[in-house]
A and B are shown apart, each in its own frame.
Chain A
Amino acid sequence: MWFKSKTAALGDFEQLVLLGVLRLADEAYGASIRQEIHARSGRDVSINAVYTTLDRLEGKGLLRSWVGEPTAQRGGRRRKFYAVTPAGVSAVRHAYLALRSMADGLEDRLGAK
């Protein structure tokens, strides 16, 4: 295998999606996640990209999902809700810690203070 570490390495967009689901807690579904990412990162991603990534993360065992009831607001369609699994939390923590420690002391140069 190419990826030897136990914790799955996360792509940039995968991190955004996982963090979105964590933030939204019980209200994490396609549209809300998309809007959360748009609102916080400024990236206006397409809904299909969100679902592709959600599906892949679920396949990796980092998310779990369930289907809600149809609502009139959605034209009688159902929502698919997501929640982060412990493995998912650990993967995000890993990515976050790695980024933070890499960026440590560079805040000035990055203009991120």
Chain B
Amino acid sequence: MSDRIPPLAVRLLSRRLPPEWQDFILGDLEEEFRARAASAPAAARRWLWGQVLRCLITPPAPSRPASRSRPGPRGDSFMRTLLSDARHALRVFTRTPSYAVAVVAVLALGIGANTAIFSIVNAVLLRPLPFEAPGRLVRLFHIPPQATFPGMATFSLSPANFLDWQRESRSFEAMAAYSFRQLTLTGAGNAEALRVAVVGPEFFRIVRTQPALGRTFLPEEHEPERSRVLVVSDGFWRSHLGGARDAVGRTLTFDGQAFTVVGVMPPQFSVRAWGATTVPMWRPLAWTGKERAVRENHNYQAIGRLADGVSLGAAKAELEVISKRLERQYPADNAGWGGTAIPLQELLVGDVRTSLWILLGAVALVLLIACANVGNLILARSMGRQKELAIRAALGAGRRRVFQHLIVESLVLALAGGALGLFLAGWAISTGRTMLEDQVPRAGEASLDVRVLLFVAGASLLTGVLAGAIPALRAGRTDLNDTLKEGGRSDASGAGSFTRRVLIVAEVALSLMLLMGAGVMLRSLHNLRNVDAGFNPRGVLKVEITLPDARYKEPAQIRGFFDALLERVRALPGVVSAGMIDTLPATGGGSVQPIVVEGRPELKPSEQPTVSVRFGGGGYIKTMEIPLLAGRDFIAADAEAMLISASAAKLLWGDADPLGKRVTLPLISRELKIEVIGIVGDVREQLSEQAPPTVYYYKRDLPFGQTAVAIRSAGDPLLLARPVIAAVRAMDRDLPVQEVRTMDQVIEETLVAERFRALLLQIFAGAALALASVGIYSVLSYLVRGRRREIGIRTALGARTGDVVRMVVIEGLKPALLGIALGAAGALLAARLLEKMVFGVTATDPLTLTAVAFTLLAVSVAASLVPAWRASKLDPLIVLRDS
């Protein structure tokens, strides 16, 4: 018989033993086995297999480096203990699933909500625009003279000024002007009005995007007579041209004229936020000589690409210099008009930037509260496990080891929460995206990309550490002797409960800040909804109609059409009145023009006062129920007349009577002298902004081909939609009818951003409140459990139910009150962030703060009552016997 140890034993041990021990242990076993086998082979074999088995079951830990000063796990062995801690944590959780599920659910909600908001922040603020070197793209603007356009930071460009900028500036690789027109597509079913971007020759070169099919515009196509060519969007190519490869070269009929498709842009070119790319098609900008010379009328947008090595500041400075020179050269038109450049990205998302960061901050607070709650749960559990931890310590586990063990447990929970949260976020993103994409620029691009995934991983790890750190530190400080001596009895008045109270204070304080934000937002939304806009939107239906220039050339034709249409509409059953206007309030846009009062010295255009100019006719004022303050409305006999708003009257005439006075709108014609026939109430164009001074101008032979018709209904205005559309179609089958909506809907749509903000803050605040009340409840329950004995003695000594309830509730209210005080201070500090977003209420509104504080107080009392009631029901006999 061989006196060597069996190969099987060697193989098994080689697998199981840490490599650094293999030589020594196998050598020792072989040496002793040989010695034993010499006398008693069978017993030696039994002895050997016994040893092998024991080695297999509990192999020695991997050797630690002989560091004298700091014995402890490192490197490979650190990973091993980490993994073994994680495995242990999973085993513990399968034994107590309800605890694990509660923690994971709370964290999943917190992390999920954070991820969803972050993915929007990521898409809107962090992800670069899908153009080559997007950081070099800037939009170019005039800075208008502040005397005439108070508060306006940017203004559109006039063709002549743009051409001068383009010629003289050296800071830009290229500049392109563009604007928008409406074209009516006919010859394919119902007529369809399409918004078209008319773009200068350098436009596509500046955005550096190649068409997917065909080409962009040739230089000669920017001549007026050769400009009937189109580049279409990917969306239009699919919906209207069947996605055909041979779509290039086809002709489409717009307003009775044939246009040739020369190119198709790729899908990613449609950047939602930027109007110049979301249109279905582009046409060459082809200025006539006369148009190129226009300097006083500002109605073109412009984009530029900064030249290599030129900073934004340098480019701005150059535009200012050129503007100054133009001011000197054309003082009548350009006095006071500066120039500036703003990065495209900043412009697209500037408005929502603060909003989004605030929401991210709010949702991060929710996560913090969730962390505090989970920290509480873990703490409660680790208190219950003090004995287990003490035994671990007695067996040689260092404080660092116990800390690591508990942190790993909380990390395992947090990572599970993060994984689940990721699913929740995915769902929330796909739901929220469709809701938001029209409201928040680029929000439609929100998705779970690498950055979002990194965010989830980071948030989960941070959450795990935050939630686990306090319990783990506390557990490490546990006095070994006391714990073992007391036989696991936890003491409720000790340091553990101090930590818990601190967590409650934090939860309540954070909740108060969120509630305050939500409260202020709700009040602001309420104020906006109830603001007196100057007209009555209830019961009004609006439709937009665009008469194609090609078929409606003569003013008489246009006037005839609208007169007949209004007549038909007014005859419909249920219609109270109807009128038309070029731009309805709350729909954006509309013309702002200088105005000259007859008989006063003519000022330079840049110094003339400006007013909003609405082109309308009879019936509009009545339909919108805008109060007529003096004079009369337009009547059919008027050839030309003007109504002015109260603030316009004040601006132009002060306290003098404007009725019968005459004015000129120089941008329309210097020859016109328009008589003021009435004064009407002020109308807000944006609910949150003051009503601008406005004039309503009617001229029989200067009708607008693009008009909104407002119809007041006796009943539900939407019931009129069908008959109104039928009336339009009956007059002209090829007319597109757009935007058939009630004015209430129009106004509600302008509030989407506010509603969205208020809704999310409400959800976050609700979640925070729920988490905080659960936190208070669980801590008090725990405290009451720890003080059973004391409460029992009190009851035995004659304390009544009310005394016990009061005692416990006060116990719970102390940290809650401290939290409310700290939260109020925090809310007042954070109010500065909200100040710009609220309307009709200050972000530090004392009423809201009081209401919120009382809500939290009430919730705290309610959360304390159950444990208090339970405490009062303790039977002193049972309690004292048990202890």
Contact = CB atoms under 8 A, between A and B. Distances in A.
Contact of B55 (A2, A47, A58, A75): A47
Contact of B66 (A1, A46, A59, A78): A59
A77 B27 contact: yes
Contacts of A77: 23-24, 26-27, 30
A35 B393 CA distance: 30
Interface stretch (B56-64, B152-160, B500-508): B56-64
Interface string A42-77: 000011110110011011110011000001011101
A58 B66 contact: yes
Q: Which of A11, A34, A59, A60 has the most CB of B within 10 A?
A: A59
B51 A31 contact: no
B29 interface: yes
A75 B21 contact: no
Contacts of A11: 396
Contact of B30 (A48, A56, A75): A75
Contacts of A52: 60-61
A35 to B, nearest CB: 7
14 contacts: A2-B393, A29-B24, A31-B27, A31-B31, A34-B32, A47-B29, A55-B60, A59-B64, A61-B68, A73-B31, A74-B27, A74-B28, A74-B31, A80-B23
Nearest to B17: A48
A94 interface: no
B393 A79 contact: no
B66 A51 contact: no
Contacts of A20: none
Contacts of A80: 23-24
Q: Which of B4, B63, B480 has the most CB of A within 10 A?
A: B63
A34 B55 CA distance: 14
Lowest 4 A-B CB distances belong to which pairs?
A77-B27, A46-B54, A31-B28, A74-B27
Nearest to A75: B30
The SS class assigned to the B binding surface is helix
B409 to A, nearest CB: 21
Q: Which of A34, A51, A71 has the most CB of B within 10 A?
A: A51
A47 B28 contact: yes
Contacts of A58: 64, 66
Nearest to B27: A77
B24 A48 contact: no
B785 interface: no
Given A55-B61, A59-B66, A47 B25 contact: yes
Contacts of A59: 64, 66-67, 71
Contact of B27 (A2, A35, A61, A79): A79
Nearest to B25: A47
B486 to A, nearest CB: 16
A59 B68 CA distance: 6
A78 B399 contact: no
Contact of A46 (B30, B31, B51): B51
Contacts of A30: 24-25, 27-28
B24 A75 contact: no
Interface in B28-42: 28-32, 34
Nearest to A3: B480
Q: Which of B5, B27, B67, B399 has the most CB of A within 10 A?
A: B27
Contacts of B31: 31, 73-74
Nearest to B478: A2
Q: What is the size category of the interface that chain B forms with chain A?
A: 20 to 34
Contacts, number: 89
Contacts of B61: 52, 55
B155 to A, nearest CB: 72
Interface of B: 4-5, 17, 21, 23-32, 34, 50-51, 54-55, 58-61, 63-64, 66-68, 71, 393, 396, 399, 480
A79 B27 CA distance: 7
A78 B67 CA distance: 23
Nearest to B59: A48
Contacts of A49: 54, 58, 60
A57 to B, nearest CB: 10
Contacts of B54: 46-49
A86 to B, nearest CB: 12
Contacts of A71: 27
B28 A29 contact: yes
B399 A1 contact: yes
A106 B138 CA distance: 95
Contacts of A65: 66
A71 B34 CA distance: 13
Q: Which of A1, A34, A59, A75 has the most CB of B within 10 A?
A: A75
Nearest to B21: A51
Contacts of A29: 24, 28
Given A59-B66, A78-B27, 19 more contacts: A30-B24, A31-B27, A31-B28, A34-B28, A47-B25, A48-B17, A48-B55, A48-B58, A51-B24, A55-B60, A55-B63, A55-B64, A59-B67, A74-B28, A75-B26, A77-B23, A77-B26, A77-B30, A80-B23
Contacts of B66: 58-59, 64-65
A57 B32 CA distance: 23
Contacts of B67: 59
Contact of B32 (A2, A31, A64, A79): A31
Contacts of B50: 46
Nearest to A60: B71
Contacts of A35: 32
A1 B397 CA distance: 11
Nearest to B390: A2
A80 B415 CA distance: 43
A73 B61 CA distance: 26
Contacts of A48: 17, 25, 54-55, 58-60
A38 to B, nearest CB: 10
Contacts of B71: 56, 59-60
Nearest to B68: A61
Contacts of B399: 1-2
Contacts of A51: 21, 24-25, 60
Nearest to A55: B63
Given A47-B51, A48-B58, A48-B60, A78 B23 contact: yes
A105 B59 CA distance: 42
B6 to A, nearest CB: 12
Interface string A79-112: 1100000000000000000000000000000000
Given A34-B28, A47-B55, A58-B66, A73 B21 contact: no
Contacts of B24: 29-30, 51, 77-80
